[in-house]
Amino acid sequence: MFVTVRVSTNSDKPCVEKIGDAEFKVKVKAKPVDGKANAEVCMRLAEHFGVPVSCVAVVRGVSNNKKTVRIDGVSEARPAQRLL
């Protein structure tokens, strides 16, 4: 499944918030340097969806705050369970 993510870096309170259908706001502590923020985004989304970090990948927007992220192992037929 693919989700759109808006990333906010240098946050004091990291979290994942649903802001629309398959659209999330992810706040991370990491700074956008050397891919650290992207790695934390993947980690936070993996925790949120209950999948291994290896199942989450940024596929578009690597150097942008708006990203498209692929999450494997989450059924699109039953998104209501994981998208909350």
Q: Which has the higher per-residue pLDDT, 13 or 75?
A: 13
For 7, 39, 83, the CA distances from 75, given in Å and listed in that order, are 24, 23, 11
Which structural domain range is residue 29 located in?
Answer: 2-82
pLDDT at position 74 is 84
CATH of the domain at 55: 3.30.1200.10
Q: Indicate the number of domains in the chain.
A: 1
User: Cβ distance 23 to 84 under 8 Å?
Assistant: no
Model confidence over 29-41: pLDDT tens digits?
999 999 999 999 9
Mean pLDDT of 16-29: 95
Burial class (CB in 10 A: 0-12, 13-18, 19+), 2: exposed
Model confidence over 39-62: pLDDT tens digits?
999 999 999 999 999 999 999 999
- pTM here is 0.87
